[in-house]
Amino acid sequence: MPEATDRPAAKAGSAPPATLNHALAGAGTERAALGDLRARARSAYEHLELPTWRRSGFWTTSLDQLDIDALEVRSHPAQSSAPAFLNDQRSAGVLVQRDGSVVYTQLDPALAERGVLLCSLEQAAREHSELFERYYMRRLTLDRHKLEAASAAFWSGGAFLYVPPGLQVPEPFQIVYEISTGATAQYAHTLAIGDRGSDLRLREYGLAEPIDGDALHAGQFELYLEDGARCRLAQLVDWGPGAVHDVSTSIVEVARDGWCHWLPALLGGSLVHHHDELVIAGPGGDMAFRGLFFTDAHEHLDVFAVDLHETGPSGGDVHWRGAASGESRASFEGLIQINPGAQQSHTYLQFHSMLLSAQARLDAIPSVLVSADDVSASHGGTVGELDEDLIFYMQTRGLTRPQAVRVIVDGFFEPLIVQLDDPHLERLIRDRIGAKLANAAAEIERYALAR
């Protein structure tokens, strides 16, 4: 992989044209040697501009102010222990990448003996080439925009997980991406496979301490569940108050009679643009696609969530919730797409939002694209604010106003959090939501008084 200083400068000139969000819908990258794919991605990187997304003429996500050439891919030595927040729970395996280096890997020896693989993606490309080449970039593209091309061309470290047929693993696999300092670029890639009839839990984290200066996480994630495989997947992203820009694409494919429960929790980042796509690719496939986000201060969040049915019969249930405070901007675009021939597909998309500030803005754009006639697909949503009568009632029962607000907001997210069926992760998400509320307490109070 070339060093950051070897990457060509971004082209000067006018800003790129705005683009709409579109489902990948089966688009992928044909099989080729990793070196050839990297070369293709680098070529795309050289001629593409930093992306701008605009929808309906009123919402724009732009990275024009990000100086990508000033960011460096940093290397770190190995460490002897997992992050502290994982110490009080059991894990099937842990992999940690700090900036551009995998610094810690641990796998339960009993699982290794049964054929489970957990290693860096670089190691998988060398030592498990058959599996790597069969799945790598099967549903991901490498040339839609400059940061996607950069991720495909320059990723280092990365995470690879393989669970063999029929194996049930009750403890979660934990994959952690950390950004340690400003002026850093992290190009990350996770590839996970649940083989036929397997059952696993996977947790992926994107975390950073407060940093000075810009930083970038350009990530790609792909999970393939073969026939009858099941997975509970959760992704927690909290880049903290620093200027971290996160542009990532995640794809989950569910084969015949497979099932996935997927919950991204997006809880911090200066600018976050996520494309999350869950695909039912085999008859009998089913899924529960959950998600939550909370923006504050001047954060900008742009989520595009896709529920794609390529064949039927199939099931789906998409449920996201979001809150915005401060002067933050959050946009959720949800798409149900049912392809021709995906008869007897049944799915529902719902999105519920809560505004906690007069200056915050939160937009929801649900859509349904159906190309089959024996299906049921619909969507719905709500927009709410804090209920002053309810706050007053709780204050008469002895709670302070901040405590009452915390109870209401926690209750808003709780229907999704409890579905994680993971006390440690549930507590971690609740604590981070609580920290967001504490940071936004002054704005929330001003909003209440203005009303």
Residue 363 structure tokens: 């937009």
Residue-wise pLDDT for 283-302, tens only, equals 999 999 999 999 999 999 99
Q: What is the structure's pLDDT at 442?
A: 81
Bridge partners (DSSP) listed for residue 280: 254, 309
Is residue 243 scored above 60 in pLDDT?
A: yes
Cα separations in angstroms, 349 against 90, 165, 167, 295, 377? 34, 32, 32, 22, 8
Mean pLDDT of the residues in the chain: 92
Residue-wise pLDDT for 95-152, tens only, equals 999 999 999 999 999 999 999 999 999 999 999 999 999 999 999 999 999 999 999 9
> Does residue 444 or residue 202 have the better pLDDT?
202
The end-to-end CA distance of the chain, in Å, is: 55
Is residue 192 scored above 90 in pLDDT?
A: yes
Q: CB burial class (10 A; 0-12, 13-18, 19+) of residue 340?
A: exposed
> Does residue 123 or residue 22 have the better pLDDT?
123
Q: What percentage of residues in the chain have a pLDDT greater than 70?
A: 94
Q: What is the structure's pLDDT at 287?
A: 97
Contact 266, 82 (CB under 8 A): no
Q: What is the structure's pLDDT at 4?
A: 36
**Is residue 218 domain-resident?**
yes
Is residue 5 scored above 60 in pLDDT?
A: no
Residue-wise pLDDT for 302-316, tens only, equals 999 999 999 999 999
* pLDDT confidence tier of residue 447, bands split at 50, 70 and 90: confident
**Is residue 151 domain-resident?**
yes
**Is residue 406 domain-resident?**
no
Q: What are phi and psi of 329, to 5 degrees?
A: -130, 130
Is residue 3 scored above 60 in pLDDT?
A: no
Amino acid found at 7: R
Q: What are phi and psi of 7, to 5 degrees?
A: -70, 140
Domain, as residue range, for 122: 4-20+37-281
Bridge partners (DSSP) listed for residue 220: 189, 249
Q: What is the structure's pLDDT at 10?
A: 40
**Is residue 399 domain-resident?**
no
Residue 76 structure tokens: 């770190």
Lowest mean pLDDT segment, chosen from 18-32, 249-263, 370-384, 415-429: 18-32
Contact 335, 309 (CB under 8 A): no
* pLDDT confidence tier of residue 249, bands split at 50, 70 and 90: very high
**Is residue 394 domain-resident?**
no
d(CA 315, CA 336): 12
Return the HEC string of the chain.
CCCHHHCCCCCCCCCCCCECCCCCCCCCCCCCCHHHHHHHHHHHHHHCCCCEEEECCCEEEECCCCCHHHCECCCCCCCCCCCHHHCCCCCCEEEEEECCEEEEEEECHHHHHCCCEEECHHHHHHHCHHHHHHHCCCCCCCCCCHHHHHHHHHCCCCEEEEECCCCEEEEEEEEEEEECCCCEEEEEEEEEEECCCCEEEEEEEEEECCCCCEEEEEEEEEEEECCCCEEEEEEEEECCCCEEEEEEEEEEEECCCCEEEEEEEECCCCEEEEEEEEEECCCCCEEEEEEEEEECCCCEEEEEEEEEECCCCEECCEEEEEEECCCCEEEEEEEEEECCCCCCEEEEEEEEEEECCCCCEEEEEEEEEECCCCCEEEEEEEEECCCHHHHHHHHHCCCCHHHHHHHHHHHHHHHHHHHHCCHHHHHHHHHHHHHHHHHCHHHHHHHHHHC
Residue-wise pLDDT for 34-60, tens only, equals 999 999 999 999 999 998 888 755 678
Cα separations in angstroms, 151 against 2, 41, 156, 219? 12, 8, 9, 6
Q: CB burial class (10 A; 0-12, 13-18, 19+) of residue 407?
A: middle
CB atoms within 10 A of CB 10: 16
Q: What is the structure's pLDDT at 21?
A: 79
Q: What is the structure's pLDDT at 16?
A: 46
* 37 contact partners, CB below 8 Å, separation of at least 6: 29, 136, 137, 142, 152
Q: What is the structure's pLDDT at 350?
A: 96
**Is residue 415 domain-resident?**
no
Q: What is the structure's pLDDT at 6?
A: 39
Work out how many domains the chain is built from and give that number.
1
d(CA 52, CA 249): 15
* pLDDT confidence tier of residue 336, bands split at 50, 70 and 90: very high
Residue-wise pLDDT for 380-422, tens only, equals 988 888 888 888 899 999 998 888 888 989 999 999 999 999 9
